[in-house]
Amino acid sequence: MNKMKSYTLCFFLFLVFNLQAQSQKDGLVALINAEKKSAKAKINFVANSNTQNYDIIYQCRLLKQKYQGNRF
């Protein structure tokens, strides 16, 4: 009788772990799809036409003139 209990226990444990592995696999597929979408958005980036000619050096000079030595 003890042998039968151990076989049944092993079978149910195997069944439970197998079902959990399937659910993790689905989560992995969702993660892969999300990463693909994120990478595609970075590759197909379109800059705003209003900010393409932004001159950062000029903006820094304006800030320096405005604050004249005061630290931020």
In terms of pTM, does the model score above 0.85?
A: no
pLDDT at 71 over 60: no
* Total domains in the fold of the chain: 1
Q: Which residue blocks in the chain are alpha helix, DSSP H?
A: 2-43, 56-67
56 assigned to some structural domain: yes
Residue 54 has pLDDT above 80, yes or no: no
Mean pLDDT of 45-63: 71
Q: Which structural domain, as residue segments, surrounds residue 59?
A: 2-67
Report, as an integer, the average pLDDT of 40-64.
Answer: 75
Asked whether residue 21 is domain-assigned, the answer is yes
Task: Identify whether 45 is part of a domain.
Answer: yes
In-domain check, residue 8: yes
Q: Using one digit for the tens of pLDDT, what is the confidence trace for 4-38? A: 888 888 888 887 777 665 556 677 888 899 999 99
Please report whether residue 16 resides in a domain.
yes
Residue 72 is assigned to a structural domain of this protein: no
Q: How many helices (H) does the chain have, and how many strands (E)? A: 2, 0
Residue 55 lies in a domain: yes
On whether residue 46 sits in a domain, the answer given is yes
